[in-house]
Amino acid sequence: MSAVPPLVVVGAGVAGLCTALAAAPRPVWLVCRSACPVGTASAMAQGGLAAAVGEGDDPTQHAADTLAAGAWHNDVAAVHALVAAAPGVVQWLAGLGVPFDRDGEGRLQLGREGGHGRARIVHAGGDATGRAITTTLAQAAAAAPHVGWLPGWRLEAIGLARGRVAGVRLRDAQERSREIATPDLVLATGGIGALFAATTNPPGADGSGLSLALAAGADLRDLEFIQWHPTALDVPGAGKLPLVTEALRGAGARLVDGNGDLLMPGGHLPGDLAPRDVVARRICRHQQEGGRAWLDARGLDAEAWRQFPTVLALCARHGFDPRSEPIPVTPAMHFHMGGIAVDPDGASTVPGLHAVGEVACTGVHGANRLASNSLLEGVVCGRRLGERLRQATAGTAPAEHWVDAGPGADAAARAAIARLAGRALGPVRDGATLAHALQAIDSDRALSAARQGRLLLAMLAAALARRGSLGAHHRVDKGKNRNIRHGIDTPAYGETA
């Protein structure tokens, strides 16, 4: 690597890879805990990438759908910047070699998902879009002379000097440590799903980056907004709940109860393709009444099923064929709209600490993310951040002190935290359950001392502070409010019942 101060990027999903690529020619260390990048949430994404590239569509319509899904809690400027960049993102990825699905005449095949008024989801390999995009980006990064890979390492601590980033300390599975001096650290560490028992996220999505940022003094934002995907596979022994893409509903599948009656009002459209928070709440309430939910995709023809090889293989592993029997589904924690508060260029409130992807909060998703905007965000924001960090934001200086997120929870504490998180921060919430969970963690040293417990305390506090329902934060004991933006260190303002 060059003597120029390196950029350290932690996380090798779409956001981290795009940041690393765009930072050329600055030397980059790309740190990832698993065999890059197959263990990331990006690689597991089935849905696709949203872009207004179809006939009659435009970024203004894409923005309107994004704002509506986000309950108008979004940062409007961030939304318009995201959707305006989307068509160019598709062209750029195609130029890198992403094999987007096309028809016989070479036109992009566009799908429709929940909350979208038009078919604008581009796919690659049917329901394997995330893997196709991540693999292509990883191959480009592996071939890039400015990128050095550090697989099998995790970020343990951040070095600070005079209030800004000065370095990182890494640790591997053999407990070896390594320090890298850098004035710029990018956290692209993904989400928080591993804090929950029912999640579509990989085990590495444990909020580690968010916890470290909190320990370093960075402002966090919108922690209460947690998206539950309405259709994860609901079978015993599935472990991490596999996602059943909502593109199936876009192709004609319907949500039904045990009698085959429709669960969502209005039949297939618009009910089955309502925003995720709406559908997840409906299924949750049905389950609370003692019922189960099913996705009936038996009406799809053979041509349609060719777009869903992942779903077919998933169902086959669990012993049933979705072409002849309904798929049992349940809501599962899927995406965190909140995160490290960053400006449009990815800078946090700690100089030299940057964040991108799910761990960051630009405000673009508002109170509930629109389907297939996450891969888009990772590419757009990653490229923007990498371009900004082509030059170091400061010179190197020795770290004056180190901050870490504290000890991790043991197995028993992790299980307790997951139970409390699922009960209190699910699709339907109430103040009493939130307060009970907060008190249970606060009064148990094994839970409150663990970094996972402290992070959950912050999310519970944010959920209690937002006293009305908004987007994915739905409180049955309170009314609606539309214009509070709550940061962990910033009092709520402008609340309306």
HEC letters along 96-146: HCCCECECCCCCECEECCCCCCCCCEECECCCCHHHHHHHHHHHHHHHCCC
- Last residue of some domain: 306, 333, 360? 333
Q: What percent of the chain has pLDDT over 70?
A: 92
Whether residue 36 is found in the same domain as residue 139: yes
What's residue 44's pLDDT? 59
Q: Is residue 486 assigned to a domain? A: no
Q: What is the mean pLDDT of residues 104-131?
A: 91
What's residue 4's pLDDT? 82
Q: Is residue 219 assigned to a domain? A: no
- Crossing angle, helix 76-96 and helix 374-388, to 10 degrees? 90
Q: What percent of the chain has pLDDT over 90?
A: 79
Q: What is the mean pLDDT of residues 311-328?
A: 93
What predicted TM-score, i.e. pTM, was given to this entire model? 0.91
Q: Which of 222, 255, 382, 385 is nearest to 330 (CA)?
A: 255
What's residue 138's pLDDT? 94
Q: What is the pLDDT of residues 57-102, one digit of tens each?
A: 999 999 999 999 999 999 999 999 999 999 999 999 999 999 999 9
Q: Is residue 458 assigned to a domain? A: yes
Decide: helix, strand or coil at residue 38: coil
- Crossing angle, helix 451-465 and helix 411-424, to 10 degrees? 10
User: Would you mind telling me the total number of residues written for the chain in this entry?
Assistant: 497
Whether residue 167 is found in the same domain as residue 34: yes
Whether residue 364 is found in the same domain as residue 236: no
What's residue 271's pLDDT? 81
Alpha carbons within 13 A on the beta-carbon side of 177: 6
Of 191-205, 349-363, 411-425, 476-490, the least confident: 476-490
Q: What value does the mean pLDDT of the chain take?
A: 91
Whether residue 442 is found in the same domain as residue 379: no
Query: Is pLDDT at 386 greater than 90 in this prediction?
Result: yes
- Last residue of some domain: 369, 386, 402? 402
Whether residue 457 is found in the same domain as residue 384: no
Whether residue 320 is found in the same domain as residue 342: no
Q: How confident is the model at residue 255 (pLDDT cuts 50, 70, 90)?
A: very high
Decide: helix, strand or coil at residue 459: helix
Decide: helix, strand or coil at residue 267: coil
What's residue 486's pLDDT? 44
Q: Is residue 31 assigned to a domain? A: yes
Of 136-150, 307-321, 330-344, the least confident: 307-321
Q: Is residue 34 assigned to a domain? A: yes
Q: What is the CATH number of the domain that holds 42?
A: 3.50.50.60
Q: What is the CATH number of the domain that holds 456?
A: 1.20.58.100
Decide: helix, strand or coil at residue 293: strand
Q: Is residue 114 assigned to a domain? A: yes
Whether residue 395 is found in the same domain as residue 461: no
Whether residue 301 is found in the same domain as residue 242: yes
* Structure-token match 């996602």, residue found: 243
Angle at 91 between CA 23 and CA 189, to 5 degrees: 45
Q: What is the pLDDT of residues 23-63, one digit of tens each?
A: 999 999 999 987 666 556 555 555 699 999 999 999 999 99
Measured distance CA(142)–CA(131) in Å, rounded? 16
Question: Could you tell me if residue 9 is left (phi over 0), alpha (psi between -120 and 50 degrees) or otherwise beta?
Answer: beta
Whether the CB-CB separation of 235 and 318 falls below 8 Å is answered with yes
What's residue 265's pLDDT? 75
Q: How confident is the model at residue 2 (pLDDT cuts 50, 70, 90)?
A: low
What's residue 491's pLDDT? 28
Radius of gyration of the chain (CA): 22
- 276 in active site: yes
Whether residue 383 is found in the same domain as residue 291: no
Query: Is pLDDT at 489 greater than 60 in this prediction?
Result: no
Query: Is pLDDT at 307 greater than 90 in this prediction?
Result: no
Angle at 339 between CA 335 and CA 341, to 5 degrees: 145
Q: How confident is the model at residue 273 (pLDDT cuts 50, 70, 90)?
A: confident
Give residues with Cβ within 8 angstroms of 491, minimum separation 6.
Answer: none
Query: Is pLDDT at 372 greater than 70 in this prediction?
Result: yes
Whether residue 300 is found in the same domain as residue 398: no
Q: What is the pLDDT of residues 438-487, one digit of tens each?
A: 999 999 999 999 999 999 999 999 999 999 999 999 999 976 665 444 44
Q: What is the pLDDT of residues 323-371, one digit of tens each?
A: 999 999 999 999 999 999 999 999 999 999 999 999 999 999 999 999 9
What's residue 33's pLDDT? 87
| Number of domains making up the chain | 3
Catalytic residue among 276, 388, 466, 475, which?
A: 276
Q: Is residue 211 assigned to a domain? A: no
What's residue 127's pLDDT? 76
Q: Is residue 424 assigned to a domain? A: yes
Whether residue 15 is found in the same domain as residue 30: yes
H/E element, 166? strand 164-172
Query: Is pLDDT at 119 greater than 80 in this prediction?
Result: yes
Of 36-40, 116-120, 224-228, the least confident: 36-40
Q: What is the CATH number of the domain that holds 310?
A: 3.90.700.10
Strands lying side by side in the sheet with 293-296: 226-233, 327-336, 293-296, 254-256
Q: Which of 74, 113, 44, 46 is nearest to 279 (CA)?
A: 113
Residue 430's domain comprises 407-478
Measured distance CA(186)–CA(209) in Å, rounded? 10
Whether residue 239 is found in the same domain as residue 348: no
- Last residue of some domain: 373, 402, 431? 402
What's residue 481's pLDDT? 60
Q: What is the mean pLDDT of residues 305-330?
A: 92
